[in-house]
Structure 1
Amino acid sequence: MTSDRRILIYDTTLRDGAQREGLSLSITDKIRIARRLDLLGIPFIEGGWPGANPKDVQFFWQIQEEPLTQAELVAFCSTRRPGVAAADDAMLQPILAAGTRWVTIFGKSWDLHVTEGLKTTLDENLAMISDTIAYLRAQGRRVIYDAEHWFDGYKHNPSYALETLNSAIAAGAEWIVFCDTNGGTLPHEVSQIVQDVLQHFDHPSLVTRHPSLVTLQFGIHTHNDAEMAAANAIAAVMQGACMVQGTINGYGERCGNANLCSVIPNLQTKLGFSCIAPEQLAQLTDTSRFVSEVVNLAPDDHAPFVGLSAFAHKGGIHVSAVERNPLTYEHMQPEVVGNRRRIVISEQSGLSNILAKARSFGIELEKQDPTCRQILQRLKNLESEGYQFEAAEASFELLMREALGQRQPPFEVKGFQIHYDMISGKQLLCATSMATVKIAVGGKDILEAAEGNGPVAAMDAALRKALVNFYPEIESFHLTDYKVRILDGAAGTSAKTRVLIESSNGHQRWTTVGVSDNILEASYHAVVEGLEYGLLLQAQVQEALTSQV
């Protein structure tokens, strides 16, 4: 711990993060994310570039109807165009119409971009910065100035780069943000350059010339092209930067931006800086996963702090040690960031893993219980056949309950058939799958059929159709992911296949596994166990509610 200095977090997920390839946000998506970030306690939320596209204009209009409660919403824009006065530049009018108190303006710091990109003179670039900021200030806006390509510009022409900052400061910018736009700067360079610049502006003669320097503050905006974005952001803070710009989950163009889900806990729990309230920090994992759901990208299970595997333990020695003292293999308490410890089950597991995993399922076992060794041996036998339980904890819980005599399947599948028809001529005309299943529930046989866009979808639909009258809660179950892995590719079409299926009831997710040399049989086992486990979860919820009453 080094400081209790406040670091203001500036989130640009809705603008810079949305530039990630394959990521697209609707207006509703943006509003949902903004409100979630507001609850997290983020001080500045950049909503987008009004005028750049109709969606961003509508976003700012709609969110004004129910403003954020904690955060400052920020509009983003470039400096005016060359040769056009800011007051006459139509590009700035939607910025004012967005109605935000704060505006972030970016301008060129690198002379190369001025002459080659803007095709204008160095003096005109200085005027563009000054005129734009002065105009916005005259309209009652407060300005954050993002010095684009700052580090590259400073390394190539430090005197001109500093002139661009002088122009922004003289015009009334309250924040100067150093941007590593290309993402190639290393932490020692960031540290030295930020230190040099802050010392430069701390000179008494400059303070006399620019009275605003008394309240001027500095920030950092980094990209991850060299996988240094988080480290560079922290390096700048250590030298005096008081604002960090980044995105949730590190989303952004090319390789992404500084990941706020790593930057915030590092600054707050490791270095003692104040970013958000402790109770808000405990929402970080949920926020990370919420945003990944909204943007329709699978969460990174191995992400530091917030990933599903961030506090997962697989090796038997590790598990045994963590059970005695978590500090042995955990750098912090996972609950601080809203995460939790997970004991992973695999062929490398020992009895410690079995006991710990059983506790996580609400099952108390003793090490001396012979069932423990039976479960462990069964686990290792199945994994040698291609099963993988570290990624399919729902299947492992069912296996464990079966060994303990606690598994009571809610239905029995007596058989199924799948038909796939493809009619084609010069072009594909029709491709459909139909599944027929026969199940037994409470001694009653049911035969049902359903179609799907593939054999697994058809099988899943037929099973639900047969079961929903007995278990209405199945209506809320749905498949969220389907993964296939060929385990022995050299065997060709007779290769053994592992199928992992992730299911959800809208509140919880669980994963089941099936293995066979027939992909449909492997899928069948995973689908059936997914339905069975979902019903088990529902029964546990009902039991908990009943006990409360």
Structure 2
Amino acid sequence: MSENDSLERLYLFDTTLRDGQQTAGVDFSVDDKITIAKTLDELGLDYVEGGYPGANPTDTNFFSKSHDFSHAKMTAFGMTKRAGRSAANDPGLAQILGAEAQAVCLVAKSWDYHVDVALKISLEENLECISESVKAIVEHEKEAMIDCEHFFDGYKANPDYALSCIETALEAGARWAVLCDTNGGTLPGDVYDIVTALSARFQGDRLGIHAHNDTENAVSNSLAAIDAGVRQVQGTLNGLGERCGNANMVSLIPSLLLKPGYADKYKTGINLAHLKKLKKTSLLLDEILNRTPNRHAPYVGDNAFAHKGGIHVSAVMKDPSTYEHVDPEQVGNARIILVSDQAGRSNILARLEAAGISVGEDKSAVERILSGIKDKELEGYSFDSAGASFELLAHEMLGTLPTYFNVLNYEVKVAWDEANPAPRATAIVSLNIDGQSVTTTGEGNGPVNALDMAIRGDLRRYAPYLADMRLVDFKVRILNTGTGAVTRVFIESADGEGQSWRTVGVSENIVAASFQALHDSIVYKLMKEGVSPNPANTD
């Protein structure tokens, strides 16, 4: 028997497409759902809850399609049958049972207060709805599970009734009874104590946990429930979900696979090779939602393994485990050495090495670059989150920065009138390329967009290298007060390979600061692509 065979099985249930879709501002298309579901299957999730067939056209359409999963079970969500009618005569339940899904998860009230106030039926009728609904799922040869809504609040108010809901579901044939902290107000100690009491009565491999994040404890509550005996864990990508969100599956998965006490006790459908796709999976969801990724997200955020303090960097360069709890490559992330006016020689050396920039025999190069950074930051620049601008500055100070073009002048005009209430911006940019002056006009929905269009028009010869480049984030910070205040602009750009980089510009004029950052972003892209400063003219 292999070591892996001796580990207990944990089952991971993702509800991004259902509970996550209840997030304010989130509205997945059918194609979005198909893309996310396929990605979750490839990652190794055991269950993918696709939505509520019959509740809306998108979910109904999604479940009308066949999903060829290699690992996950497609799961349909819904409610138990309505009181006063049979399971066979409930149109809503019929839609769920007829969906293209291998499993069905139904929500059921397990807090007597909700049965009385929300459903307005007797406690016995609610138990009958649970039992008859589960039996109908089993008769349709689908795996049945019940989400016991408000379970922890219900258990505190009336433990006997909350337990009877679990018992009824399991006796009727449910594979799982899932304990839901629906209001998200339960703390880890209570979760552990309650689940420990339940595990003495029910088998842990029949129980699951569904935690909401209203006290920032959804991941902690999920781990506490596992410690106490549950063997199914529900969550969402990036912690998506109603109000404050759900347990973040992107944080749970690496904790289960990499941390002692979990990695040496449990196994999941995800292996270490799958784990390397984690950051990419997290970024996919942000891309679909058109959201800026959380740079401070545990495990997968850009700053999760970023080091700034000189003492920290010196230690990390000797042994990364001094300031890193896991190897960033295990989750598809990378170590970043930040540079700023607080940086020391270790920071600069590490950052140059990571960027593949060699100082050769120039013994004073590091000190010159460090001094240059401190001078720039005194003016208002910040390089700790603008790595691309740092690399350009380093190349400039080393005399190795390619010159693709020189800016001669630019101007921007923003026009508005009553007939056309949406303001439009027009920019004119003149560049010198190989001794030739080129001027192009660009239009956009704002000054930066117009400048981008104009400069791309000037740089037609570089068009193949810039075609997949796009601006994904734009941030402005006022460094002092007043209408003539110094402004710092950060631009984040990305390419078709999913790579992103950040540049910075500083000026008393917000347009000038924006143009600096845009200019650096384009130059960095060309340099990153290895473009020669004098390519063959393709105009």
Distance in 2 of aligned mates of 1:456 and 1:375: 29
Query: What are the superposed Cα offsets for residues 384-439 of structure 1, whole Å, 9 maximum, x if unpaired?
Result: 21111111111110000111111012111100111222223xx7646322111110
- 1:494 counterpart SS class: coil
- Asked whether the 8 Å contact 1:355–1:366 carries over to 2, the reply is no
Query: 1:426-505 counterparts in 2 under 5 A?
Result: 429=421, 431-489=423-481, 492-505=482-495
- Taking structure 1 as reference, are residues 125 and 9 closer, same or farther at Cα in structure 2, changes over 3 Å only? same
Aligned residue in 1 for 2:338? 344
Distance in 1 of aligned mates of 2:404 and 2:46: 50
Residues 1:18 and 2:30 are matched in the alignment: no
- 2:64 counterpart SS class: helix
Distance in 1 of aligned mates of 2:151 and 2:358: 58
Cα RMSD over matched residues?
Answer: 1.9
- Asked whether the 8 Å contact 1:452–1:461 carries over to 2, the reply is yes
Query: What are the superposed Cα offsets for residues 336-383 of structure 1, whole Å, 9 maximum, x if unpaired?
Result: 111111101111110100000001111234798211011101101111
Distance in 1 of aligned mates of 2:449 and 2:502: 16
Distance in 1 of aligned mates of 2:462 and 2:73: 51
Residues 1:43 and 2:46 are matched in the alignment: yes
TM-score of the pair, normalised by structure 1: 0.92
Query: 1:354-369 counterparts in 2 under 5 A?
Result: 354-365=348-359, 369=363
Aligned residue in 2 for 1:538? 529
Q: Which runs of 5+ in 2 are unaligned?
A: 534-539
- 2:9 counterpart SS class: coil
Tell me how far 1:523 sits from its aligned partner.
Answer: 0.8
Distance in 1 of aligned mates of 2:300 and 2:423: 41
Distance in 1 of aligned mates of 2:532 and 2:208: 47
User: 298, 305, 308: which is aligned to 1:304?
Assistant: 298
Aligned residue in 2 for 1:235? 224
Residues 1:86 and 2:87 are matched in the alignment: yes
- Taking structure 1 as reference, are residues 234 and 470 closer, same or farther at Cα in structure 2, changes over 3 Å only? closer
Aligned residue in 2 for 1:207? none
- Over the matched positions of the two proteins, sequence identity in percent amounts to 45
Query: What are the superposed Cα offsets for residues 308-344 of structure 1, whole Å, 9 maximum, x if unpaired?
Result: 1111100000000000011111111111111111101
Deviates more, 1:291-300 or 1:516-525: 291-300
- 2:116 counterpart SS class: helix
Aligned residue in 1 for 2:536? none
Q: Which amino acid aligns with 1:219?
A: G
Deviates more, 1:406-415 or 1:472-481: 472-481
- Asked whether the 8 Å contact 2:51–2:59 carries over to 1, the reply is yes
- Taking structure 1 as reference, are residues 346 and 112 closer, same or farther at Cα in structure 2, changes over 3 Å only? same
Tell me how far 1:18 sits from its aligned partner.
Answer: 1.1
Q: Which amino acid aligns with 1:528?
A: H
Distance in 1 of aligned mates of 2:167 and 2:25: 38
Distance in 1 of aligned mates of 2:361 and 2:338: 18
Query: 1:101-120 counterparts in 2 under 5 A?
Result: 101-120=102-121
Tell me how far 1:99 sits from its aligned partner.
Answer: 2.5
Distance in 1 of aligned mates of 2:421 and 2:186: 54
Aligned residue in 1 for 2:135? 134
Tell me how far 1:24 sits from its aligned partner.
Answer: 1.4
Distance in 2 of aligned mates of 1:265 and 1:429: 50
- 1:327 counterpart SS class: helix
Count of residue pairs the alignment pairs up? 524
Distance in 1 of aligned mates of 2:532 and 2:240: 35
Query: What are the superposed Cα offsets for residues 235-267 of structure 1, whole Å, 9 maximum, x if unpaired?
Result: 011111111000111000000000011111112
Query: 1:57-96 counterparts in 2 under 5 A?
Result: 57-62=60-65, 64=66, 66-96=67-97
Aligned residue in 1 for 2:308? 314
User: 379, 398, 403: which is aligned to 2:397?
Assistant: 403
- 1:469 counterpart SS class: helix
Tell me how far 1:541 sits from its aligned partner.
Answer: 11
- Asked whether the 8 Å contact 1:375–1:403 carries over to 2, the reply is yes
Distance in 1 of aligned mates of 2:531 and 2:417: 46
Aligned residue in 2 for 1:172? 173
Tell me how far 1:67 sits from its aligned partner.
Answer: 1.3
Distance in 1 of aligned mates of 2:202 and 2:232: 17
Q: Which runs of 5+ in 1 are unaligned?
A: 203-214, 543-549
- Asked whether the 8 Å contact 1:223–1:229 carries over to 2, the reply is yes
Residues 1:291 and 2:285 are matched in the alignment: yes
- Asked whether the 8 Å contact 1:468–1:474 carries over to 2, the reply is no
Aligned residue in 1 for 2:513? 522
- Asked whether the 8 Å contact 1:29–1:295 carries over to 2, the reply is no
- Asked whether the 8 Å contact 1:183–1:222 carries over to 2, the reply is yes
Query: What are the superposed Cα offsets for residues 130-186 of structure 1, whole Å, 9 maximum, x if unpaired?
Result: 111111212222201111111000000001111111211121111111111111101
Distance in 2 of aligned mates of 1:227 and 1:541: 50
Q: Which amino acid aligns with 2:525?
A: G
- Asked whether the 8 Å contact 1:11–1:42 carries over to 2, the reply is yes
Tell me how far 1:475 sits from its aligned partner.
Answer: 2.5
- Asked whether the 8 Å contact 1:484–1:498 carries over to 2, the reply is yes
Aligned residue in 2 for 1:7? 10
- 1:189 counterpart SS class: helix
- Asked whether the 8 Å contact 1:468–1:475 carries over to 2, the reply is no
- Asked whether the 8 Å contact 2:205–2:232 carries over to 1, the reply is no
- Asked whether the 8 Å contact 1:355–1:365 carries over to 2, the reply is no
Q: Which amino acid aligns with 2:230?
A: A
- Taking structure 1 as reference, are residues 56 and 266 closer, same or farther at Cα in structure 2, changes over 3 Å only? same
Distance in 2 of aligned mates of 1:110 and 1:122: 10
Distance in 2 of aligned mates of 1:430 and 1:246: 41
Distance in 2 of aligned mates of 1:433 and 1:194: 60
